Amino acid sequence: MAALTSVATTRRSARRVGRRRIKATPYFFVAPFILFFAAFSAYPVVFALQLSFTNWHGAGELKVIGLANYQYLLTSPDFWQSMLTSGALWLLVVPAQVLLALVIAVALRKARFRGLFSAALIAPFVTPLVAMAQVWIILFDKDFGAVNHGLTSLGIPAIGWLTTGVWAKVTVALLVLWRTTGYAVILLMAGLSSIPSDVYEAARIDGAGAWQQFWSITVPLVTRTLSFIVVIGTLTVFQLFAEPYVVTGGGPFNETRTAGLYLYKHITNSDLGLGAANSILLVLMVLALSVASIRLLRSREAA
């Protein structure tokens, strides 16, 4: 009897150990991701936050200076000019990108050769940015560019696309639109494909026209995709570096010096504490703008 009891106890213990091993198995498989995330995402963010309260130039001891970096940035005209430049580019890029992508995606929803159009739309997104920026410089050159040549042939005076502040912003915004709108169209085409055709059939039976179907069915049902596009567009614009750096160099007169270019200035000056504070402020502002945009779109979805 005692032997049977011992065998039963041993079997129960073995089952418990087996269950523990089974429960630990999922954590074993996700452990590499957790380790990589901690090493290359979480730790750099924590270190940047710590660095933002110091005066450090890449070597030597970290000298804690409290909120001095934040105070300097929040009272710096250059910092606010870079933020205003990024804000202006956001107004030029993100609303136009959402509208264009939505219109193009709806137009291509039932079009023939969708694959061919999709490849053409995504091509600018995967083309090397520096090469595209060089082409942009040639196209928008004031004296020899194809754009001004077309304008003058129509009797319109040549525009200093790269030499005047307002038009330089427009030129950079057009480059960003050309490069990223195709990606937004692909996302929206995927979102539109998830809408059942029965919904549109029912709307047509009820007498809804094309505009009513678009505004009352299509837009509300792709609101989450639009929210994602707005967030990605906001991140893209406020991190904008390569486009203004190559096309305008931040000029003329710092009119296209974006938040990304201003942050780069701290890095080239080895002022890493100030650069870390700048990046933290940039993250907070992008987060606030993204949340506001999402709430605006979600209010439309709720309506």
pLDDT by residue for the chain (303 residues), tens only, comes to 444 455 445 555 555 544 555 566 777 778 888 888 788 888 888 888 898 898 888 777 888 888 999 999 999 999 999 999 999 999 999 999 999 999 999 888 777 777 788 888 888 888 888 888 989 999 999 888 899 999 999 988 989 899 888 999 999 999 999 999 999 999 999 888 888 888 888 888 878 777 888 888 888 888 888 888 988 998 889 889 888 999 988 888 888 999 989 988 888 888 888 989 999 998 898 888 888 877 877 765 555
How many contiguous H segments (helices) and E segments (strands) does the chain have?
Answer: 15, 2
* Of the residues 51, 66, 88, the one at which a domain ends: 51
Measured in residues, the chain has a length of 303
d(Cα 282, Cα 278) in Å, to the nearest integer? 6
Q: Are 161 and 171 in contact (CB under 8 A)?
A: yes
Do 25 and 94 share a domain, yes or no? no
Q: Are 228 and 237 in contact (CB under 8 A)?
A: no
Backbone φ and ψ for 255, nearest 5 degrees, come out as -70, -20
Do 16 and 99 share a domain, yes or no? no
pTM: 0.83
Do 82 and 47 share a domain, yes or no? no
Cα distances (Å, whole numbers) of residue 183 to 13, 89, 113, 170, 178: 55, 18, 18, 20, 10
Do 268 and 144 share a domain, yes or no? yes
Cα distances (Å, whole numbers) of residue 31 to 19, 25, 38: 19, 10, 10
Do 101 and 19 share a domain, yes or no? no
Count of structural domains, the chain:
2
* Of the residues 51, 67, 88, the one at which a domain ends: 51
Residue 64 lies in a domain: no
Structural domain for 269, as ranges: 78-302
Backbone φ and ψ for 63, nearest 5 degrees, come out as -100, 110
